[in-house]
Structure 1
């Protein structure tokens, strides 16, 4: 059947790496296939079609509750859960619930393979497929919350949502621990349509960015600012003091009833290799808003940030709107790396000058994009800038930033650094942590001494990879790794 390939994407080694266009294609395929398999478009499906991510998750549960006998129905359930697990702006606990569902499905694949192997029914290639599911399951274990008890309530609500209109649904039992949250939205493009033209390039731009018209979700759900920041401190203990301004920002926003992620523009200043960029990426990943990285070091103009005017070949809107497009929310994160090394001129445009307009709330709320020829509201975009020193930054730019001094890590921070770096290496290789070779204690001591001497996370990362390579040369890989 046409379109079936996409509903198997949840079985990919790294399904979270789907591109924005692939997410949209998967949604369209599910909208097309699900009614045929269910025998009609139910009320719950209509809500999921409208990109109600709560409905998408409940639809996945409803499909699974019927114990699907066919692979197609199981793939449909898993695909709806995959969409919910990576939905911007979805209630944080529901993201964990959806991830739990996916984890169970992947582990079921492994269990099924083991059953076949015991009965000598396993086909060639099934072992690799089953181990791939185990790898994916382990990745979801890291992000999933232990929320299995909540499934019953969601399933009940799903069935009530699909009840006939003349049926009075039962009153749901109160749940003191459950929180409901209507996803807040915001218009980024301040127009009902994009001005067009007859040129092919103009039509391309309109088609590409038309999905951003209308309301977009404000993603990230920070209900407990202290727990959120404490998790970051656990991975970056040497930055505990540097994270205090962020903690204060999030506390105030939560008190005001504004729990979606938005922090004042930050400038992290510290020596090379102190983990500034890694911290910024982790912040946005933990909040669930995603981020784009802009390397400013040596930039000779501001095109990546400002965009290019319509009429030029390959014209693109400003970098902030492209981040909105990449992450499907109105408040993505943007990391401007090594901003103190940015070049530029009055003729070609200075990156720091463009930042002035994008960081000031007043001008960011009405930023004119020369490519799409419309005003943009970029005031909800989250900014983190990094620099080795502030000497090269203009005073007006520094006045718009919360400047935080980041110290270099020390040997005592090695355990926290290693926990993250080993996870990164495993993800890069597409294997489980347990599949990596065991490191010799003397090598770990050498890495700790190096960190004390140089305070450079990048050096530790390179040393870790060398140590793993040496250990791999002396160790046979486990059969089931």
Structure 2
């Protein structure tokens, strides 16, 4: 056996020929409320995504493509959707991936690796993780190692993903319970077979009118990143809120987060001086 394959298979032993649990669908109203708190400007997207789970016992979304301007929060929404649903999230950068990487490499190669949906299952130790494919439209178009777009087709249909022939393991895998959520700034570069297999929804940009609804969630998220209880991060006072309101007129959530981070740093610096 290829030494590299033996090295790769060792940490996967716990999921090979082993029944894995499927995460049950949580109460959808609770999920909706949690997402609405963080993304109050994207209620239509939330409802569109969660409608797929109505009546389902376990979490499995049909392929979902979020299309919108950079900075609107598409990737974060996809990640939080998975986290709030209670499934593990595997992130794939489409611009750095191709068919041979995502779909697995043949065991004859030293760089042998199973398909990434199976690796997502192994890492999460569940049968229904969520695979987030970022910036799908930026996937490479060279066909030397197979385009990511073409490779994805075999994973997006239940019929084929339930019998995926993994080139590294040289056996058939059932990865049919994996959910795929992709993001794109535009659908124009995407070939029609990919567009046909994804449910496409436009992801809006927040406006200045959303600022007061967004700030609590941004503060909560920053507190979480700092390892703090959100209760230890007071809301912005009137001066802080006015300063951000003058500079942020909607659009990029990344920019809003940076501005709130700057306010929190200024608070910390003032506290250190006192």
- Give your verdict on TM over 0.5: yes
2:146 counterpart of 1:343: no
Distance 2:64 2:137 in 1: 14
Structure 1: any 5+ residue segments left out of the alignment?
1-196
Residues 32-88 of structure 1, C-alpha deviations (whole Å, 9 max, x = no match): xxxxxxxxxxxxxxxxxxxxxxxxxxxxxxxxxxxxxxxxxxxxxxxxxxxxxxxxx
Contact 1:310/1:372 (<8 A) preserved = yes
Q: Residue 215 of structure 1 aligns with which residue?
A: 19
2:74 counterpart of 1:276: yes
Distance 1:466 1:451 in 2: 13
Distance 1:260 1:432 in 2: 31
Q: Residue 263 of structure 1 aligns with which residue?
A: 61
SS of 1:243's equivalent in the other structure is: helix
Distance 1:276 1:388 in 2: 9
For residues 448 and 262 of structure 1, do their structure 2 counterparts lie closer, same or farther at Cα, with a shift above 3 Å needed? farther
Contact 2:104/2:114 (<8 A) preserved = yes
CA root-mean-square deviation: 2.2
Structure 2: any 5+ residue segments left out of the alignment?
none
SS of 1:232's equivalent in the other structure is: helix
Q: Residue 113 of structure 2 aligns with which residue?
A: 316
Choose between structure 1 and 2: higher helix proportion: 1
Larger radius of gyration, structure 1 or 2? 1
Distance 1:445 1:274 in 2: 22
Residues 331-356 of structure 1, C-alpha deviations (whole Å, 9 max, x = no match): 00011011011114111221111111
2:37 counterpart of 1:234: yes
**How many residues were matched structurally?**
273
Residues 98-117 of structure 1, C-alpha deviations (whole Å, 9 max, x = no match): xxxxxxxxxxxxxxxxxxxx
Contact 2:5/2:113 (<8 A) preserved = no
SS of 1:241's equivalent in the other structure is: helix
Distance 1:428 1:388 in 2: 26
Quote how far apart the aligned CAs of 1:230 are: 3.3
Distance 1:427 1:244 in 2: 26
Which of residues 7, 14, 28 in structure 2 aligns to 1:225?
Answer: 28
Contact 1:309/1:371 (<8 A) preserved = yes
Quote how far apart the aligned CAs of 1:444 are: 1.9
Which of residues 179, 191, 196 in structure 2 aligns to 1:382?
Answer: 179
Quote how far apart the aligned CAs of 1:418 are: 2.5
Which of residues 246, 252, 262 in structure 2 aligns to 1:466?
Answer: 262
Quote how far apart the aligned CAs of 1:436 are: 4.2
